[in-house]
Structure 1
Amino acid sequence: MLSYTIRRLLLLIPVFLVVSIVIFLIIHLVPGDPIDNLVRVGSTPEQKAEITARYGLDRPLVEQYLIWLSQLAQGDLGTAIVMRRPVADLIAQNLPYSLTLGGLALLFSTVLGIAAGVIAAMNKEGRIDRTVMTGVLFGSTMPSFWLGLILILVFAVQLRWFPVSGARSWESLVLPVLTIGLGGMALVARVTRIAMLETAGKDFVLLLHAKGLPARRIQLRHVLRHALLPVVTILGLRIGWVLGGAVTVEYVFARPGLGMLLIKALSQHDYPVVQACLLMLAMAVMLGTLLGDLIQAAMDPRVRSALT
């Protein structure tokens, strides 16, 4: 298991380098310049060139990227050009809000998604199964920003049960968590149902039925345990996608977090902040995938032996 973990960690290095290059190029090739937010009206081209040189933006892109990469290797995310604060401080200030929202949404989608998938699989092709799958289809195709607006209109504006925006109390988390979690719940439920139906047709399950064990006990104790392997992989991917989905949801609900920080930095073309935020989201996806693979390998020795 240790050698498998080391190999998976080493595989993240080239992936990280490729992702960092893509992020850097996308940000610098987008029209716009952070210097436009610093120069005053009527400034001369010479003054603008001086500010550009001060922040090293006049250097070739390759040199700028190598400087940024060397700073990352030292744990330095740089300094925001427009906000004029260390990027690490901005991340540390906003990341807890995104982690709280993403963690609760992931917990919500995992628990209810697995429960819905189990109920649908145990009532295969019945009325309950069709009802659950219809809800799953509806939840998986609904855009999160549109669902967020609907929840605000119904539960915040009309019923006044929850606040419209902000992050001042736990009530402000309910609607954002539902907005992110419902889409993830649909995916987890669908994968759980399919995995349980496939596992239910295996020989060891037929043998358990032949021994006279109760069907409910077989489903919950044996079939579900084996069906959780693909679910774990999906949940590993969801760790990163939940944080990424929080970007639009935080904007809809006017919540502090990486999403609001990223959108503000994009509007100002603040390169260091945008690069750091996108890199954090990409690393969340990579680490989530790694965690899912490690858990799957721990649960199933065949995964480890296939890569030895």
Structure 2
Amino acid sequence: MLAYALRRVLMLVPVFLAVSVVIFLILHFIPGDPIDNLLKVGAPPEQRAEMMTRYGLDRPLPVQYAMWLAKLLTGDLGTAIVARRPVADLIAQALPHSLLLGGVALAFSSLLGIAFGVVAALQKDGWLDRLVMGGVLFGSMLPSFWLGLLLILAFSVGLGWFPVSGARTWSSLVLPVLTIGFGGTALVARITRISMIDIASRDFVLLLHAKGLSPLEIQLRYVLRHALIPVVTILALRIGWILGGAVTVEVVFARPGLGTLLIKALSQHDYPVVQASLLMLSMAVMLGTLLGDLLQAAMDPRVRGAVA
């Protein structure tokens, strides 16, 4: 298991380098630069040239990338050009809000999705199966920003149950969590249902029936335990996607998270902040993938044997 984990970690190194190159190039190919937000209208060209030199933006792109990567490998995320603060401080302020929102949304979608999947599997091809799967599928088709606005209109503006925006109280988490969680619920429910139906047709399940165990005990104690292997993998993969999906949701609900920081930095072309924010989101996806592979290998020895 240790050798497998080490191989998987080493495989992330070239992926990380490729992602860093893509992030760096995309930002520098976008028209405009952060100097436009620092200079006054009508500023002389000499002042622009001086500021370009100060922030290293006058150097060739390969040199700029090498300098950024060298600092990054030492833990230095740079200094925000517009805010003129260490990027690490800005990330440290925003990241806990995103992690809290993403963690609660992941737990919500996991528990609800597994419960719906179990109900659908137990009532395979019945009216309850069609109702549950149809409902969660419809919920997953709604765009998150549109669903968030509907929830605000219904429960904040109409009923006044929850805050419209901000992150001061726990109640402000409810609507953003529902907005993010509904999409993930459908995926988890479908995977759980399909996996349980597949496991239920295995020979060992027929043997359990022959021993006289009740169908409900077999499903919940034996079938569900084996069916959770692909579900756990999917949940680990969703860690990064939930943090990425939180970007638009944080903007809709005006939460001071990584998404709000990223959108603001994009509007200002603040390269160090945007690069660090996108890198954090990319690393969340990579670490989620790694965690999913390790959990699947730990739960299923056949995975370790296949790559040995």
Q: TM (normalized to structure 2)? A: 0.99
Aligned AA (1:218)? I
1:186, CA displacement in angstroms? 1.0
- CA deviation vs aligned residue, 1:132-160 (integer Å, no higher than 9, x gap): 01112101111100100000000000000
Deviation per CA, 1:96-151: give whole Å up to 9, x if none.
10011000000000011101000100000111101101112101111100100000
**Residues in 2 aligned to 1:59 and 1:234: alpha-carbon distance in whole angstroms:** 43
Runs of at least 5 residues in structure 1 that lack an aligned partner in the other structure: none
Cross-structure match for 2:49: 49
Per-residue Cα deviation, 1:210-255 (whole angstroms, up to 9, x for no partner)? 2221101111111111111111111111100110010000000011
Superposition pairs for residues 130-145 of structure 1, below 5 Å? 130-145=130-145
1:34 deviates by 0.4
Post-superposition offset of 1:46: 1.6
Please give the secondary structure, in 2, of the residue aligned with 1:256. coil
SS at match of 1:82: coil
Q: For 1:237, give the aligned amino acid.
A: L
Structure 2 residue aligned with 1:258: 258
**Aligned residue pairs: how many?**
308
Equivalence map 1:52-201=2 (5 Å): 52-201=52-201
Aligned match of 2:15:
15
When the two chains are superposed, the root-mean-square deviation of aligned CA atoms in Å is: 0.7
Determine the C-alpha separation between the residues in 1 that align with 2:93 and 2:140. 32
Q: Which digits, 9 at most, give the CA deviation of each residue in 1:147-178, with x for residues without a partner?
A: 00000000000000001111111110100000
**Corresponding residue of 1:220:** 220
- Say yes or no: does 1:36 pair with 2:36: yes
In 1, distance between residues paired with 2:236 and 2:7? Answer: 18
> After the TM superposition, which segments of 4 or more aligned residues of structure 1 sit over 6 Å from their partners?
none
Q: List aligned pairs for 1:196-275, cutoff 5 A.
A: 196-275=196-275
Partner in structure 1 of residue 307 of structure 2:
307
Aligned partners of 1:56 and 1:243: how far apart in 2? 31
CA–CA separation in structure 2 for the residues paired with 1:210 and 1:28: 66
Between the aligned partners of 1:121 and 1:273, the Cα distance in structure 2 is: 46
CA distance, structure 2, for counterparts of residue 95 and residue 281 of structure 1: 10
Letter in 1 for 2:306: A
> In 1, Cα distance between the equivalents of 2:210 and 2:25?
61
> Unmatched 5+ residue regions in structure 2?
none
The separation in 1 between residues aligned to 2:45 and 2:202, in whole angstroms, is: 73
TM-superposed deviation, 1:42: 1.4
Identity %: 75
CA shift, 1:306, in A, is: 0.7
TM-score (norm 1): 0.99
SS in 2 for 1:65: helix
- Rounded to whole Å, the distance in 2 between the matches of 1:14 and 1:51 is 34
**Matches of 1:148 and 1:82, distance apart in 2:** 30
Residue identity matched to 1:76: D
Once the two structures are TM-superposed, the CA of residue 16 in structure 1 deviates from its matched residue by 0.3
**Whole-Å Cα distance in 2 between the matches of residues 142 and 211 of structure 1?**
46
